[in-house]
């Protein structure tokens, strides 16, 4: 359907060399978008790009540190000047650190905030400044089931993802009048490199299967539809919303 087509549009996905970012990049390309892949590790980024190029995707790589506001703005401005407009931004870059709250290192709390929250602001602002001038743009921030729920050992991560949801509301409140749609996707428990330790833990997996109405881990490909929807004309009047894709875990006790 044309309503969901991303043909002729360019999407930048941060943290797209693996995991959810890579899967979403593949899905956006399949919907017709030209891709700008971002990560800090240039070698890993180029490997991911070559994989998608072999599948027919139109790819440009942009290696910069999303936690550096000057680097983010410089990279985005340079891309726009050389290649043209960025129509879609997916703020996916993130990290996790698991430690009981009473022992959580202050430096890791700061690193989590910088990576999971500050980067959304830095890259979002850098891209939005161009989108505002054009009167159109789609921003999709990756939140988490921890946006709504807490679990032992990850209180600071929960803090960051709650902040992402509220920053998304703030983006919509400030930028919807300029024609931007700013929304978030909140994945539940997905089999990703970030969750590798949990996936490998039989006790945790058994708990998760009982706790989740769908009875299983999510597959990263199951996030693609939500991302295409929020990136497309189909979501033209959706703003400030966090879409949970979690197998029902936030719907049940």
Catalytic residue among 122, 157, 178, 189: 157
Q: Which two tokens stand for residue 212?
A: 């989740």
Q: Are 86 and 135 in contact (CB under 8 A)?
A: no
Strands (E), 15-114: 34-39, 59-63, 88-91
Q: Are 212 and 188 in contact (CB under 8 A)?
A: yes
pLDDT bin (cut points 50, 70, 90) of residue 193 is: confident
Instruction: Work out the average pLDDT over 106-110.
Output: 97
Q: Are 176 and 183 in contact (CB under 8 A)?
A: no
Tell whether the model's pLDDT for residue 192 goes beyond 90.
no
Q: Among all chains, which residue has been given the structure tokens 């693609």? A: 224
- Which class does domain 2-244 fall in? alpha beta
Q: Which two tokens stand for residue 100?
A: 């009981």
Tell whether the model's pLDDT for residue 1 goes beyond 90.
no
pLDDT bin (cut points 50, 70, 90) of residue 253 is: confident
**In the chain, pLDDT over 70 holds for what percent of residues?**
100
79 a catalytic residue = no
Per residue in 194-235, pLDDT (tens digit) is 888 889 999 999 999 999 999 999 999 999 999 999 999 999
Tell whether the model's pLDDT for residue 45 goes beyond 90.
yes
Spans of all domains in the chain: 2-244
């Amino acid at each position: 359907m044309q309503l969901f087509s991303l043909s002729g549009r360019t999407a930048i996905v941060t943290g797209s060399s693996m995991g959810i970012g890579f899967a979403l990049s593949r899905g956006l390309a399949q919907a017709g978008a030209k891709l700008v892949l971002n990560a800090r590790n240039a070698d890993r980024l180029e490997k991911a790009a070559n994989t998608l190029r072999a599948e027919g995707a139109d790819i440009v790589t942009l290696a910069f540190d999303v936690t550096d506001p000057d680097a983010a703005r410089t990279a985005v401005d340079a891309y726009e000047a050389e290649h043209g407009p960025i129509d879609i931004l997916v703020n996916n870059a993130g990290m996790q650190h698991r430690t009981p709250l009473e022992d959580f290192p202050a430096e890791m709390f700061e690193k989590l905030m910088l990576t999971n929250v500050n980067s959304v602001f830095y890259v979002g602002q850098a891209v939005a400044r161009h989108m505002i001038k054009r009167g159109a743009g789609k921003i999709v921030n990756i939140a988490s089931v921890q946006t709504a729920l807490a679990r032992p050992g990850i209180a600071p991560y929960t803090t960051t993802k709650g902040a992402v949801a509220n920053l998304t509301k703030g983006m919509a409140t400030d930028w919807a009048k300029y024609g931007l749609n700013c929304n978030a996707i909140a994945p539940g428990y997905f089999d990703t490199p970030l969750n590798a330790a949990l996936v490998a833990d039989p006790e945790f997996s058994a708990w998760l299967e009982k706790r989740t109405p769908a009875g299983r881990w999510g597959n990263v490909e199951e996030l693609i539809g939500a991302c295409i929807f929020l990136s497309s004309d189909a979501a033209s009047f959706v703003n400030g919303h966090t879409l949970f894709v979690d197998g029902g875990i936030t719907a049940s006790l």
